[in-house]
Structure 1
Amino acid sequence: MNKIIFKIEQFPHLSETFILAQIITAIKCGYDVRLLIGELLDFETSKQLDLIKKYEIEEKIIIEDYRIPKNKGIRLLKWFFILVSNFKNIKPIINFHKENTKFSLTWLFQWFYYNQFNEVAIFHVQYGTNSKPLDILKKTGFKPALVVTFHGHDAFFPINGFIPNNGYYNNLFVNGNLITANTPYLADKIIELGCPKELLSIIPVGVDTGFFYPNKEIKMHKTLKLITVGRLDKVKGHHFCIEAVAQLINKGMDVSLTIIGEGSERGNLENLIKQYKLQDKVFMKGRKSQMEVRQELWDHGLYLLPAVALPDGRRETQGLATLEAQACGLPVIAFDSGGVKYTIEDGVSGFVCNEYDIDCMFNKVKLLIEDTEMYAKMSNKAIIFANKNFAQKIIDQKWGGVYSNLCNGKK
C-alpha cells in the first residue's frame, strides 16, 4: 500500500476542518496515511473529535523530533556517529548542507531524520510555510513526491508579519511536484511569487453534503434570520453585517443576525452592537461544533459574508462556510473579496456585491425579504450549486486522480 505523509505544523488546530477533510480523503482513497506533526495540541478541545476517532487519526501521528541532544558534547558525538554510519550518503548530505545559509550541526540531524521516509510515496504539506526542509531535500535526491497546498496567508509577504520574500519559495517552485490552491484568486497570488503555471493546480476545499443538507422545506419566515460563521477577524468583515442589519431595522425590516465564531474582534463587535442598540437583534454565540453550526444554519434563512482586505492586501481565499450554508439551502450575499466569488453563483445561488458596498448588501437582503418566490428559487439553486461543484465526493475524486498520478510518476 502506498504511503502518504501529511506534514502539518500543528494539529488539531482552528484550520483542522479542511485539513482533516484532506487527510480523510487520502484514507478513503486507500492510502496508508501518517501525519507528521510539529506540535501536537489537545485533542479534547477539537471540534472534530468524532471524525478524529472514527478514522483513528491519533494512531497515525508521528511527532517531528530530530532528537538532538541538549548537551553540546553528546550532540557532537552523536553528529559524528550519524555522519560515519551514513558515509555512503555523503554526497546528498554535503549537498543538503550547501543549500543552507550557514553551517549548523542541526542540518545533519534533520537530514538523518527525514531519510527514514525516503521510500514514502508522497509528502503532502499543508501550508507553503511548512514545506521546509522538504524543498531542499528534494533538490538533493529525496525520493517522495512533494505536494504543497497553500491556504492563504502563506502567499502574502511578509508572512506572519516578519518572513521576507528573499527567494523564500524558490526551491519549492523548482523541486516540488505539485502546488495546489483552492481558487483562481489564490492561484494567481502564488504565480506572482514565481510558481510556474504548469506546477499549479486548482482544487477547491469541498463541503460534506452528506452532513450539510436542508432538513426542512425552504420558505421565508416572518423574521428573516441572518447568519455568518467564521473566526472573529477583520478579514471576515463582521462589522459590515452589523451595519447592514442596523440599516435594515431602521427601514422597518424584521431581521436578526447570529454571529458564530471567536477571535480578536469580539470586543469591537460587541461595542458596535451596543452602539447601534442591537442587543436584542444581533447575537454572538461563540465557537460551535460542526453539529451545532449545522443546526444554526437550519434555523436561519440567509448567509452573509462581507469579507474585506486586510492592510497587507490579504483577502479570504475561498470561504468554506458559504458552501456549507448553500448546501443547507441558504442563499449567500457576499462581498467580492479574494476568492469568495468562486463559491457563489451570482444571481442564482446568492448575490456578490462589490467590496465594502453595504448599500448593495442592504438592497439584496431587502429584495429577498420582499420577493419570497425569488428567495425560494435561490434557496433551491444554492443546494444544487453546492452539490454539483463542491461536494466532498467530487473533490475526493480529483485528489484520488492526483495521488494516483504522483504514485505512478506523473504530475
Structure 2
Amino acid sequence: MNHKLNILFIVSSFPTISETFIINQIIFLIDSGHTIRILSLKKNNIDSHPKILEYKLMEKTEFINVFPFKKRLMHFLCLFFKANLKTKLLYLQTLKINRYKKQALNLRIFHKMLAVSKFKLEFDIIHAHYGFNSEIYFELKDFPWLRNSKLLTTFHGHDMKTSFLKKNKIRYKRLFDENIMITTNNEYGISLLQKIRRDYKNIQLLPVSLDTNYFHPSSGAKLNQQNTVILFCGRFIPVKAPTAVIEIANILVNYEKILNITFVLIGSGPEEPKVRELIKAYQLESYIKLKGSLNQDDVISEMRNAKIFVLPGITDEKGRAETQGLVIQEAQAIGLPVIVSNAGGMRYGLIDLETGFILPEGDIDAFARIIKKLIDDPALALQLGKKGRNYVVKNFDSKVLGFRLLKIYNELLSK
C-alpha cells in the first residue's frame, strides 16, 4: 500500500492497558506513515503505557462526552447559536427523529458527531474494535468525515457471546446485511460469528498480537533450577478456571508427593474466595502464591521466573470460552511450554506436542500428568519453550500482524 491513509479507530475505552494489541496496531500504522485518530466512548484514568506517551496518543483521541441531559442541551444551544449556517445545518441533521429516534431527542447523536468533527479529517478507514462499536459508524456515516470511508469491524469475544445470540442477531443485522468485512482471532471466532449469521463469508483471520521484542526470554538458563514454578495468569472467573489450577496442585503435592514446586497465580476476580478456600482445604499454603493483579512488567518478570505456563480454561454455563487468550502467546514468547485445554479458541494459539500441550477440557488428571512429565524432563520443557518462542515471533508478532492488517485494509478499499 503506497498511499497514506486516514484511519479512525473506534474503541469502548482508552487507554486500556489490557488491550495493548490495539495500541500495537495503532503504533505500527503510525510508524508506517498513516494518520491515526481514536474515538472512544470512555476515558480511563490509568497510568499510561510508555508508547501512549511516546506517540502522544491521548492527543489523537476524542471522547464522546455523556453529560446529564440539561448540560447536553445547554452545550448544544451554545454551540448552535455561535455556528455559521453550514455548521448549523450539520447540527440540525443530528436531530432527525425519523432516522435517529431517541438518540436524536437526547442529543447523543449530536455529541458523537461533534467528537468526530474535532478531528477535521475525512477518513478512509473506520476500524471498530468490538462488534457493537460499529453502530457508531452506521449512525455517523452520512456526515462528511465518514461519508467516503469503509468500515472494518474486529470481533474479540464478549461481543459475540452465545448467551446473547438473539440480541446480537438484531444488533448486528445491518452489519451483516451490508456485508461488512470482519476480522476475528481464529476459527473459533468464525464459528461464533456464523452462529449469529449462518454462512457469513466476509471474515478475515487476524489474531491479537504482541510485541515479541518486549516479551522475550531471560538470559539465565533454568535447566538446573531445583524448584519448578508453574504459572497461571488471568482473571479469576469461571471461564479461566483458576480453581482447576488448585485441583491440579492438590494432585501433584498431596498425591504425587512432588514437593519442589510452586504454583504462582496472577489475577483477581469473583472466583478468588473459592480459590482461597481450596488452598486452605488442601493445605497448599506453602505451595501456592497469589500475586493479585500485576502490571505488564511484573507479569513478564513472573513469567521469566517460571518453567511452565498453564491455562485450564473451560466453557462456562453460558457457553462462553476463551476466544484466543493472548497470555498463551506471551508465555510462549518468554520461552515457556504452555498447557491449555481445548475449550474455545486457545488450541489455535500453539502447536500441540511441539510448543505445548492441548488437553481435554476439565481433565484435571491430564494436566497434572503433563506437568509431572515436564518436571521430570526439564530438557523437554526448554525445547518446547524454544520452539514456542519461534512460533509466536513468526505468527503473532505485532509487525507481522500489522502487515496483514494493511493487506486487509487494501482489500477493503479495492472493493
TM-score tier, shorter chain, comes to: 0.7 to 0.9
Q: Paired residues, what number? A: 403
SS at match of 1:134: helix
Shift of 1:388: 2.0
Q: For 2:288, which of 278, 282, 292 is the aligned residue? A: 282
Change (3 A) 1:75 1:50: closer
Cα distance in 1 for partners of 2:376, 2:112 equals 65
Task: Kindly provide the CA deviation profile for residues 86-127 of structure 1, in whole angstroms up to 9, marking residues without a partner as x.
Answer: 798899879x75455668423762675377377211111111
List 4+ stretches of structure 1 deviating above 6 A. 66-69, 75-84, 86-94
Counterpart in 1 of 2:64?
64
Matched, 1:113 2:114: yes
Cα distance in 1 for partners of 2:110, 2:34 equals 28
Matched, 1:267 2:273: yes
Shift of 1:281: 0.7
Shift of 1:383: 1.6
Shift of 1:342: 0.6
Q: Which moved more, 1:217-226 or 1:300-309?
A: 217-226
Contact 2:265 2:290 in 1 (8 A): yes
Contact 1:239 1:272 in 2 (8 A): yes
Counterpart in 1 of 2:46?
43
Change (3 A) 1:249 1:233: same
Counterpart in 1 of 2:236?
232
Task: Kindly provide the CA deviation profile for residues 166-188 of structure 1, in whole angstroms up to 9, marking residues without a partner as x.
Answer: 51101122336421101110111
SS at match of 2:171: coil
1:168 alignment partner AA: R
2:18 alignment partner AA: S
Counterpart in 1 of 2:203?
200
Q: Which moved more, 1:397-406 or 1:148-157?
A: 397-406
SS at match of 2:229: strand
Change (3 A) 1:58 1:101: closer
Matched, 1:156 2:161: yes
Unpaired segments of 5 or more residues in structure 1? none
Counterpart in 2 of 1:377?
383
Q: Which moved more, 1:206-215 or 1:356-365?
A: 206-215
Task: Kindly provide the CA deviation profile for residues 340-365 of structure 1, in whole angstroms up to 9, marking residues without a partner as x.
Answer: 00111111111111100101101111
SS at match of 1:346: coil
Q: TM-score, normalised by structure 2?
A: 0.86
1:178 alignment partner AA: M
Counterpart in 1 of 2:24?
21
Cα distance in 1 for partners of 2:226, 2:403 equals 42
SS at match of 2:264: strand
Task: Kindly provide the CA deviation profile for residues 302-349 of structure 1, in whole angstroms up to 9, marking residues without a partner as x.
Answer: 000001112210110001111111111110111111000011111111
Change (3 A) 1:101 1:380: same
Matched, 1:252 2:257: yes
SS at match of 1:148: strand
Shift of 1:165: 3.5
Cα distance in 1 for partners of 2:11, 2:198 equals 21
Change (3 A) 1:101 1:368: same
Q: TM-score, normalised by structure 1?
A: 0.87
Shift of 1:23: 2.0
Unpaired segments of 5 or more residues in structure 2? none
SS at match of 1:10: strand
Shift of 1:20: 1.9
Q: For 2:174, which of 144, 167, 171 is the aligned residue? A: 171
Change (3 A) 1:172 1:139: farther
- The within-5 A match list for 1:376-395 is 376-395=382-401
**What value does the CA root-mean-square deviation take over the aligned residues?**
3.1
1:241 alignment partner AA: V
SS at match of 1:304: strand
SS at match of 2:207: coil
Shift of 1:262: 2.1
Cα distance in 2 for partners of 1:184, 1:361 equals 24
Task: Kindly provide the CA deviation profile for residues 153-210 of structure 1, in whole angstroms up to 9, marking residues without a partner as x.
Answer: 1001555x9x824511011223364211011101110122117643211101122111
Counterpart in 2 of 1:304?
310
Cα distance in 2 for partners of 1:54, 1:276 equals 48
1:151 alignment partner AA: H
Matched, 1:352 2:358: yes
Q: Percent identity?
A: 30
Shift of 1:283: 0.4
Task: Kindly provide the CA deviation profile for residues 380-405 of structure 1, in whole angstroms up to 9, marking residues without a partner as x.
Answer: 22222222221222111111222344
Q: Which moved more, 1:64-73 or 1:363-372?
A: 64-73
